[in-house]
Amino acid sequence: MSVLTGNAIFGQSGGPTSVINASAAGVFTEALKQDCIPKVFGAAHGIKGILEEKFYDIGCEDPNEIQLMKTTPSSALGSVRYKLANPDVDDSDYKRLLEVFKKYDIRYFFYNGGNDSMDTCNKVSKYMQKVGYECRVMGVPKTIDNDLAGTDHCPGYGSAAKYIATSTMEVYLDARVYDTPMVCVLEVMGRNAGWLTAATSLASFKGAGPDLIYLPELDFDMDSFLAQAKAVFEKNNGKLIIAVSEGIKDKNGKYISEYGSDLANEKDSFGHAQLGGTAQVLAAKLKDTLKCKTRAIEFSLLQRCAAHCASKTDVDEAFRAGELAVQYAVAGTSDHMVGYEREPGNEYKCNFKLVKLSTVANAEKKIPRDWINAEGNGLTKAFIDYALPLIQGESAPPMEDGLPHFTKLKKVFATK
Amino acid sequence: MSVLTGNAIFGQSGGPTSVINASAAGVFTEALKQDCIPKVFGAAHGIKGILEEKFYDIGCEDPNEIQLMKTTPSSALGSVRYKLANPDVDDSDYKRLLEVFKKYDIRYFFYNGGNDSMDTCNKVSKYMQKVGYECRVMGVPKTIDNDLAGTDHCPGYGSAAKYIATSTMEVYLDARVYDTPMVCVLEVMGRNAGWLTAATSLASFKGAGPDLIYLPELDFDMDSFLAQAKAVFEKNNGKLIIAVSEGIKDKNGKYISEYGSDLANEKDSFGHAQLGGTAQVLAAKLKDTLKCKTRAIEFSLLQRCAAHCASKTDVDEAFRAGELAVQYAVAGTSDHMVGYEREPGNEYKCNFKLVKLSTVANAEKKIPRDWINAEGNGLTKAFIDYALPLIQGESAPPMEDGLPHFTKLKKVFATK
């Protein structure tokens, strides 16, 4: 493969994680070293920044600040949710991308995101090939949801899982403090895949986690749920912790969070209408059934941006995935995402591999049925064995004044 | 003062914090060293455990596990919310306490808690004096609310403040990731005093915190609030972060969270009724006013039990307060709480002092008006100067399998 000389652009896409910036740091660190890449650009708000010709000259950044990206959560360049049209129907975005690529001699396009973003990469790459513009396109995986096909796990997941399991253990201790009944429902992110919610089982593995866990992989049945909850509640002297994915649905495909609208018409004993997210709906139902104090806790945004409690394994792998994307591209690879592969055997070792973008685009990986227990309310040892290595090691930002010191990029526009 | 020989009992009371067990570790470590204290007991669920004759022999515990208490959140012995009656009206609990104290030769009573708990200490001490039972009673302060009178600050506050400020900074980064409008309302604990919510201003001090902060110290006015929010929203291109205390009330004393019941009768544009806690009520109002995506985030129990992100200053002071309570009692002091006093000057140094139980009992310390800005929607530098030293240094549990390793006490009953 001949050397391709030209500039590189990197963009961040989709929801934040604790390590999306670690991958960016990997891409930037490696790309800035390459002789065949004169300039490295960072797109403001992903593909939108390219379309709008808003991107930064990463060569102007202080290398220390690029290092600090490894421990700074969220997307330092800004992210976007933007789906490119089918180019056969509307190719205006693609024409515009080509125009910008040509104008700035962009020959390397690195994009960090989930399956939608890999779809974006795939479409861009196909278009550039069609019009004969030489350009290497590489995807860097990212999603706390851990639902990308073709990779053992995803950057961002390990850190979110570590935070969720840690916080669950702490809530467990908190919720048992009185000798009175107490029911907690923890709501974890995940519309279609239960990987994040399953991470609460790591706390159970440590003896301080939920009694019952419900994932979107299985239909949720309110009556069985209430019966299962009641049984544990009675066995445990009124102590009960439940974890649920925000996206659990009943067998008719109705989200449990939507039950809130129905509940709003019922009133509790104080005359208050009951409503809210999934955990709130279930807490209200449990209060009604068990006649005791219940509490709904949403990990909300905290779970995806808690860089102060990140997994070092995750951060290191995310950085490495960024570096490798550049190395592969420079060596001639295009149209692939950097994927993770676990070495067989008892000791965890993560190798990296190339996964075709088309494999990842728009696919979704769920938890295998046999990693969920027969009753559908907990995880098996297979899941613990899978997830535990991903949360090993502690990564946290350097501290200043007792608070995290996050990166501050200069963001010097390379454009206009 | 003559040496008083007899056993000691320690109890934990009220809501959990990250450092209540650190104070327990201080009491136990010191009491176990004292020749005049043959046996050290830990009451199961505070005063209730004494009344019910359920307490543990702390001498049976592994010293390593007692050390681990310094980084284990919540109440290892179990806590309680129990208010002793006025002994002039009903002295049955007091008679029972005396009976138990006599039976187990308890001559030292240490109690860890907030103002209610200091009231308990005070009542117990007065009763024992009245009936001529020699016993030294010492309070150890504790409350994330930081609202105890007679002390510069309270154990538990620094750790909660550090966690709240850290998480706020992370949410700030997360909430700015898209170039679209986004409004976040953070709900922080505090029914009557705004100390915890004020801690979000530490994130603002670092350039990554709320634009507006509302505390229960001032009446909350919905119209002014919406006007202030709108102004910031427009100035900041649709980015807005607000922090509120759960306990904010309007000028008629109605909790803003109660507005939810009214809102339940209004429907949003999707036909959903709106309801929830304070943040949810405000997020719904803002969505209506600003016509953009809003998110309500409750720090919930996480804020009071996040030992993985505790303040070393707080943990060390909490441990020291426990040690000192024992030393003071052995030296002859009774009827006091160990309080904190800040040395004047720029460098933070915490001294310890004795505060009369009657000073602390049932009193409540709020944020001074001049630490809140003139508009009533933010904190002044005086608050930052006050709070910043309290969050310095990092304390976290030792890790095992990538997760916190918390104490496991044997809990050998000393009774029956």
For A189-323, strand residue ranges (E) read: 212-214, 239-245, 294-298, 310-311
- For residue B151, the SS3 value is coil
Contacts with B231 (C-beta within 8 Å, 6 or more apart), sequence order: none
- The C-alpha atoms of residue A401 and residue A210 are separated, in whole angstroms, by 35
Task: Count other Cβ atoms within 10 Å, centred on residue A230.
Answer: 14
- Which of B213, B214, B198, B212 is CA-nearest to residue B164? B198
Are the C-beta atoms of A127 and A98 separated by less than 8 Å?
Answer: yes
- Mutate: best of B178, B258, B388, B409, partner A, most A CBs <10 A: B178
Please name the amino acid found at residue A66: I
What is the enclosing helix (H) or strand (E) of A315? helix A312-330
Token pair in block for residue B141: 């302060």
With bands split at pLDDT 50, 70 and 90, how would you rate the model's confidence at A396?
Answer: very high
| A250 assigned to active site | no
pLDDT of residue A260: 75
What pLDDT digit, counting tens, does each position of A241-253 carry? 999 999 999 999 9
Helix axes B312-330, B20-33, angle to 10 degrees: 40
What pLDDT digit, counting tens, does each position of A56-111 carry? 999 999 999 999 999 999 999 999 999 899 999 999 999 999 999 999 999 999 99
CA angle, corner B304, sides to B303 and B305, nearest 5? Answer: 100
- The C-alpha atoms of residue B342 and residue B367 are separated, in whole angstroms, by 17
Contacts with A134 (C-beta within 8 Å, 6 or more apart), sequence order: A4, A107, A128
pLDDT of residue A265: 52
Are the C-beta atoms of B247 and B255 separated by less than 8 Å?
Answer: yes
Q: Is the pLDDT of residue A308 over 80?
A: yes
- The C-alpha atoms of residue A21 and residue A156 are separated, in whole angstroms, by 10
- For residue A216, the SS3 value is coil
- For residue B259, the SS3 value is helix
Are the C-beta atoms of B147 and B193 separated by less than 8 Å?
Answer: yes
Q: Does the beta-carbon distance from A301 to B304 stay under 8 Å?
A: no
Q: Is the pLDDT of residue B265 over 60?
A: no
pLDDT of residue A273: 43
ipTM: 0.96
Are the C-beta atoms of A54 and A20 separated by less than 8 Å?
Answer: no
What pLDDT digit, counting tens, does each position of B35-61 carry? 999 999 999 999 999 999 999 999 999
Considering only the beta carbons, identify the residue of A170, A295, A399 that sits closest to B305. A170
Q: Is A384 on the interface with B (CB under 8 A)?
A: no
Are the C-beta atoms of A148 and A154 separated by less than 8 Å?
Answer: yes
Q: Which residues of B are catalytic?
A: 145
Nearest chain B Cα to A305, which residue?
Answer: B170
pLDDT of residue A415: 77
Q: What percent of chain B shows pLDDT beyond 70?
A: 96
Q: Does the beta-carbon distance from B302 to A167 stay under 8 Å?
A: yes
Mean pLDDT of A339-352: 96
- The C-alpha atoms of residue A281 and residue B282 are separated, in whole angstroms, by 20
Are the C-beta atoms of A192 and A247 separated by less than 8 Å?
Answer: yes
Mean pLDDT of B130-157: 97
pLDDT of residue B275: 44
pLDDT of residue A347: 95
Q: Is A48 on the interface with B (CB under 8 A)?
A: yes
Task: Count other Cβ atoms within 10 Å, centred on residue A149.
Answer: 16
Q: Could you tell me whether strands A182-188 and A294-298 are parallel, antiparallel, or unpaired per DSSP bridges?
A: parallel
- Which of A409, A383, A199, A218 is CA-nearest to residue A306? A199
Q: Count the helix, strand and coil residues of chain B and give each as a percent rounded to the nearest 5.
A: 40, 20, 40
Task: Count other Cβ atoms within 10 Å, centred on residue A51.
Answer: 20
Please name the amino acid found at residue A68: L
pLDDT of residue A271: 43
Backbone angles phi, psi at B192, to 5 degrees: -120, -25
- The C-alpha atoms of residue A339 and residue A325 are separated, in whole angstroms, by 10
Could you tell me how far CA A187 lies from the centroid of its own chain?
Answer: 16
Q: What percent of chain B shows pLDDT beyond 90?
A: 92
Q: Is the pLDDT of residue B310 over 50?
A: yes
Token pair in block for residue B156: 């538990």
Whole-prediction pTM value?
0.96
End-to-end CA distance of chain B: 34
What pLDDT digit, counting tens, does each position of A102-156 carry? 999 999 999 999 999 999 999 999 999 999 999 999 999 999 999 999 999 999 9
Nearest chain A Cα to B284, which residue?
Answer: A276
Burial class (CB in 10 A: 0-12, 13-18, 19+), A311: buried
Considering only the beta carbons, identify the residue of B166, B276, B297 that sits closest to A275. B276
Backbone angles phi, psi at A149, to 5 degrees: -75, 155
Average confidence score pLDDT of chain A: 94
- The C-alpha atoms of residue B333 and residue B8 are separated, in whole angstroms, by 14
Are the C-beta atoms of B188 and B47 separated by less than 8 Å?
Answer: no
CA angle, corner A294, sides to A292 and A299, nearest 5? Answer: 170
Q: Does the beta-carbon distance from A169 to B295 stay under 8 Å?
A: no
Q: Does the beta-carbon distance from A403 to B391 stay under 8 Å?
A: yes
With bands split at pLDDT 50, 70 and 90, how would you rate the model's confidence at A264?
Answer: low
The radius of gyration of chain B from alpha carbons, rounded to an integer in Å, stands at 23
Bridge partner list, A41: A9, A57
User: Which residues from chain A sit within 8 angstroms of residue B276, using beta carbons?
Assistant: 275-276, 280
Are the C-beta atoms of A303 and A196 separated by less than 8 Å?
Answer: yes
pLDDT of residue A2: 79
pLDDT of residue A270: 41
- Which of A144, A107, A130, A57 is CA-nearest to residue A318? A144
Kindly report the nearest CA distance between residue A243 and chain B, in angstroms: 15
Mean pLDDT of A250-269: 74
- The C-alpha atoms of residue A24 and residue A9 are separated, in whole angstroms, by 11
Q: Is the pLDDT of residue B203 over 80?
A: yes
Q: Is A203 on the interface with B (CB under 8 A)?
A: yes
Q: What percent of chain A shows pLDDT beyond 90?
A: 92
Could you tell me how far CA A33 lies from the centroid of its own chain?
Answer: 28
- The C-alpha atoms of residue B263 and residue B166 are separated, in whole angstroms, by 32
pLDDT of residue B261: 66
Compute, in degrees rounded to 10, the torsion defined by CA atoms A399, A401, A402, A404. -40
What pLDDT digit, counting tens, does each position of B91-106 carry? 999 999 999 999 999 9
With bands split at pLDDT 50, 70 and 90, how would you rate the model's confidence at A163?
Answer: very high
Q: Is the pLDDT of residue A374 over 60?
A: yes
Considering only the beta carbons, identify the residue of B48, B80, B297 that sits closest to A301. B297
Distances (CA, A) of B112 to A81, A204, A327, B12, B393: 50, 29, 59, 5, 24
DSSP assignment letter at A318 = H
Q: Does the beta-carbon distance from B401 to A16 stay under 8 Å?
A: no
Q: Is B142 on the interface with A (CB under 8 A)?
A: no
Q: Does the beta-carbon distance from B162 to A403 stay under 8 Å?
A: yes
DSSP assignment letter at A379 = B
With bands split at pLDDT 50, 70 and 90, how would you rate the model's confidence at A275?
Answer: very low
Mean pLDDT of B257-279: 61
- Which of B54, B37, B11 is CA-nearest to residue B412? B54
With bands split at pLDDT 50, 70 and 90, how would you rate the model's confidence at B259?
Answer: confident
- For residue B316, the SS3 value is helix
Residue tagged 């995880």 (tokens): A379
Bridge partner list, A350: A342
Are the C-beta atoms of B57 and B46 separated by less than 8 Å?
Answer: no
